[in-house]
Amino acid sequence: MPELAEVEFFRRRWSAGHGARVLAVHAHDRARVFRECDVARLKKKLTGARLLGSATTAKQMLFRFSSGRWLGVHLGMSGELRVEPSDYAPAKHDHLILVQRQRQLVFNDPRMFGGVLFSTGRTAPDWWTRIAPAILSDQFTGKAVADFLRRRARAPIKAVLLMQERFPGIGNWMADEILWRAAIHPARPAGSLTPTEVRTLHHECRMVCRLALRTIAGVGGRLPPNLNVRIPKTWLFWHRWEDGGRCPRTRVPLARATIGGRTTCWSPARQKLR
DNA sequence: CCAATTGTTATTTA
DNA sequence: ATAAATAACAATTG
């Protein structure tokens, strides 16, 4: 499920535990989510540490603990973070649980495409600082997008939008939402976009990120009761999976096909090949 | 049983 | 050599 704003939504759940100590750590070290992580060391170093703060960039989350301990979480395709009461008993696919006095912080991921990283150090780990500059940062410029599209000229634009090294945090549904708003057909080769289309694409990338954060993640306010509840019905989002779904702007039936290896949804009336 | 899934990476193909 | 396409990873649901 989780793309940019959903990742932020889940991170904020765990901020209930900011300031509190970790009394115990439960982890199944055989689970695939720990494939790049020394679980014994994680348990040892995190037990007794205090959760001081956290951040999201792209689809990555970083949790900062006392004495220079850092926990990274990626949710993969099916991961989520939850907060459970102290008497909660671990359920299936709960791979990592940080037990605090008042609550338990749970990482659950059935498909285990997600992953956990642990490291120590005075500053944030390398893998975190190496993540591409956020789409909502000043470094995400129109020129950067244009240059990138030129280097990926033959790939379908849909596939290019999924490349995290330039569009960090964009996933399948956000890519479709951006192209739909920009009125660009997902199968167009990236190099075939006109300068105007590239400018529009750049703008809509920022727009969709900003709106998704505001609605899903509840930035600037409290968390919404569930993930998608505030996404307006005017977005492609609500119609992309349903059979007989129609474009919310033109009312024309939506098209669906595999493009760039992913199920892609678009409005033939707005988004034309040429 | 078959197909589907909002992510990423390794491998193969062009 | 590089970019693009495909397979693989795992679990569940329809």
pLDDT at A223: 66
- The candidate with the shortest Cα–Cα distance to A208, out of A235, A244, A233, A242, is A235
Q: What is the pLDDT of residues A210-232, one digit of tens each?
A: 999 988 877 665 667 677 667 88
Closest-lying nucleotide for A76 based on CA to C1': B7
With contact defined as beta carbons under 8 Å apart, do A95 and A33 qualify?
yes
- The candidate with the shortest Cα–Cα distance to A71, out of A23, A32, A118, is A118
Q: What is the pLDDT of residues A43-96, one digit of tens each?
A: 999 999 999 999 999 999 999 999 999 999 999 999 999 999 999 999 999 999
Angle of helix A4-14 relative to helix A195-212, nearest 10 degrees, comes to: 20
Within 7 Å of a protein beta carbon, the nucleotides of strand C are 3-7, 9-12
Q: How is residue A213 annotated by DSSP? A: I
Reported as type and span, the H/E element at residue A126 is helix A126-129
- Sheet with strand A104-108: strands edge to edge: A24-27, A94-99, A104-108, A80-84
Q: Which 231-260 positions of A have CB less than 7 A from strand C?
A: 260
Query: What is the rounded distance in angstroms from the CA atom of residue A246 to the CA atom of residue A255?
Result: 9
The letter for the amino acid at A182 is A
Distance, angstroms, CA A258 to C1' C10?
21
pLDDT at A242: 83
How many other β-carbons are positioned within 10 Å of the β-carbon of residue A228?
15
Query: What is the rounded distance in angstroms from the CA atom of residue A39 to the CA atom of residue A95?
Result: 11
pLDDT at A222: 63
